[in-house]
Amino acid sequence: MIRKFISRVLGRKGPERPNEPAIIALAQHGLQRDQISRGCQRTVEGLQENGYQAYIVGGAVRDLLAGLKPKDFDVATNATPEQVRHCFRRSRIIGRRFQIVHVSMGAETIEVTTFRGHHGEHAGNKAQTDEQGRVLRDNVFGSQAEDAARRDFTVNALYYDPTSETITDYHHGVADLQQKTLRMIGDPKTRYREDPVRMLRAVRLAAKLGLTIDPAASRPIREMSELIDNVPPSRLFDEMLKLLTSGHALHCVRQLREEGLHNGLLPLLDVILGQPLGERFVMLALEATDRRVAEGKPISPGFLFATLLWHEVLAKWQLFKSGGEPATPALFLAMDEVLEVQAEKLAITRRIAGDIKDIWALQPRFEQRSGKRPYGVLQHPRFKAGYDFLLLRAESGELEPATSVWWTEFLHASDEARAAMLLPPTPGEARKRRRRRRPPASIGQTPNLQE
Ligand code: ATP
Ligand code: MG
């Protein structure tokens, strides 16, 4: 009796009553209804008016409690996708591995998910896993308690009801958030085996929320890190992109190293974090990215991955050149090889790979500062990214500043001043110029530098 009372007061579920959640009132959690987007409130109300349970769940509740602005609002309900569909005129079922419903409310789209069930043996529907224990299918409806139990961290398993302004908390998540702890629901080793991406999520969420990963959840990471090998490359790419664009990339990458997760996870991190110039370059790039996120500016994934991989390209480029390959073909060989190695683990999309290559291929072109060539470089559609990249190289000490200083001046100079800045052509360039019939179309225009 006393134990039950204590667990009620502390909002902690007693071990003897695993399915009894704490119901936390506004006075304790402080989350106000009007912090929830209007569309999301209307979605929850719509479901509740039809007799269903509905809550805001996951990242949005967590972020609001932590004083952050949520990226989006997700709703969880006991209504099936079909039943959700019937509650809202403007809604459609998105058929993926697990069906969810997109409800449109004005300009907002709210993602509504039916509570997911256990796939433990006792539930009679054991999940399909691979030999390492990674869950391959996970598409069984369940109760709210089961839905909470299959979420990863306690702070991610909070259900907010805007009508009563209460939070249903099965796993002590509100208290963990207040105590700044990221705690795994269930046995961390089992949960990492089911889905190794949770190791990366732990690092990212801890950095984003300023939480400490509970030792029980951080301890197994080092020994289990190689399970990441088993994750499909496209999923790993998505997660790495989230991590790098989280606004806490620098912290995350440091933490990955501390947790022993960079080894083998991404070949690029192995190499880069081991060499001083490369490391300085990457850290500057991540700092700049975090700054942009803080200022609400968009992030270019191509630019980000181009920076992360640059020092590998440089090393390979050097190798090909010393093997007798001329500079430009050597660079292209190096670029292809570096991207190929990454592709084994990380499915960098074709479009992003194109952006990365454009940025890299522009670098040697910045060295050519005579004749009409600089005008051609200015006209390149990826000039701005290539130029920012050049600045970063100079800042990291990889390049003499002369080149980037010249380009900054050239970029902002008048037509006459630009013409006066051009260096005399080298003998090789003069020969090529004589062979060229058509003048380039691009001379005299300045690229659009809007961000
Ligand atoms: P963010 O949106 O800031 O990236 P998030 O926690 O909201 O973080 P989502 O991918 O949007 O991440 O997932 C929404 C919710 O789904 C999470 O809060 C968590 O409850 C659950 N979830 C997501 N990924 C997993 C996972 N790998 N294992 C278990 N539960 C997960
Ligand atoms: Mg989310």
Q: Kindly report, residue by residue over 339-393, the tens digit of the pLDDT.
A: 998 887 788 889 999 999 999 999 999 999 888 899 999 999 999 999 999 999 9
- Distance (Å, rounded) from C-alpha 184 to C-alpha 397? 42
Three-state secondary structure call for residue 134: coil
pLDDT at 342: 82
DSSP per-residue codes, 205-238: HHHHHTPEEPHHHHTTHHHHGGGGGGS-HHHHHH
Find the 110 Cα to ligand 1 centroid distance in Å. 15
Find the 151 Cα to ligand 1 centroid distance in Å. 7
Q: What average pLDDT does the segment 4-27 reach?
A: 62
Give the model's confidence band at 10: pLDDT under 50 very low, under 70 low, under 90 confident, else very high: very low
- Distance (Å, rounded) from C-alpha 270 to C-alpha 415? 46
Q: Which DSSP letter does residue 129 get?
A: B
Find the 154 Cα to ligand 2 centroid distance in Å. 15
Q: CA quadruple 408, 409, 413, 419: dihedral positive or negative?
A: negative
Query: Which residue's alpha carbon is at the smallest distance from atom 10 of ligand 1?
Result: 59
Which of 201, 205, 236 for a ligand 1 pocket mutation test, highest count of atoms within 8 Å of Cβ?
201
The Cβ of residue 37 has, within 10 Å, a number of other Cβ atoms equal to 18
Which of 72, 152, 153, 245 for a ligand 1 pocket mutation test, highest count of atoms within 8 Å of Cβ?
152
Q: Hey, what are 350's tokens?
A: 């074709």
pLDDT at 375: 93
pLDDT single digits (tens) 88-105: 999 999 976 678 999 999
Give the model's confidence band at 428: pLDDT under 50 very low, under 70 low, under 90 confident, else very high: low
Give the CB-side neighbour count of residue 298, counting CA atoms within 13 A: 7
Q: What is the CATH code for 1-179? A: 3.30.460.10
Query: Which residue's alpha carbon is at the smallest distance from atom 6 of ligand 1?
Result: 59
pLDDT single digits (tens) 216-253: 999 999 999 889 888 888 898 899 899 999 999 999 98
Active site residue 72: yes
Annotated catalytic residue within 34, 63, 74, 355: 74
Predicted structure pTM score: 0.82
Q: What is the mean pLDDT of the chain?
A: 86
Active site residue 152: yes
Three-state secondary structure call for residue 187: coil
pLDDT single digits (tens) 341-356: 888 778 888 999 999 9
Of the listed ligands, the closest to the CA of 208 is: 1
Q: Which DSSP letter does residue 126 get?
A: P
User: What are the residue boundaries of the structural domains of the chain, listed by start?
Assistant: 1-179, 363-421
pLDDT at 119: 59
Active site residue 358: no
Q: Which atom of ligand 1 is nearest to the CA of 197?
A: 27
Give the model's confidence band at 169: pLDDT under 50 very low, under 70 low, under 90 confident, else very high: very high
| DSSP H or E stretch at residue 197 | helix 197-209
Give the model's confidence band at 135: pLDDT under 50 very low, under 70 low, under 90 confident, else very high: low
376 contacts: CB under 8 Å, gap ≥ 6 = 365, 440, 442
Give the model's confidence band at 437: pLDDT under 50 very low, under 70 low, under 90 confident, else very high: low
pLDDT at 128: 65
Q: What average pLDDT does the segment 130-156 reach?
A: 84
Q: Which DSSP letter does residue 426 get?
A: P
Alpha-carbon distance values, 403 to 198, 365, 391, 443 (Å):
44, 11, 9, 20
User: Which residues lie with the beta carbon below 6 Å from any ligand 1 atom?
Assistant: 58-59, 71, 74, 151-152, 156-157, 195, 197-198, 201, 242
Alpha-carbon distance values, 417 to 23, 410, 422, 423, 437 (Å):
71, 8, 9, 12, 26
For β-strands 181-182 and 212-213, DSSP reports them as parallel
| DSSP H or E stretch at residue 312 | helix 301-322
Answer with the residue of higher pLDDT: 333 or 13. Answer: 333
Amino acid identity of residue 426, one-letter, is T
Annotated catalytic residue within 63, 72, 138, 388: 72
Q: Is the pLDDT of residue 265 over 90?
A: no
DSSP per-residue codes, 172-186: SHHHHHHTTEE-BSS
365 contacts: CB under 8 Å, gap ≥ 6 = 373, 376, 377, 380, 386
Q: Is the pLDDT of residue 406 over 90?
A: yes
Q: Hey, what are 248's tokens?
A: 């806490």
Of the listed ligands, the closest to the CA of 247 is: 1
267: Cα separation from own chain's centroid: 18
Q: In this predicted structure, which of 24-38, 67-81, 371-385, 437-451 has the lowest mean pLDDT?
A: 437-451
Residue with tokens 């079922």: 93
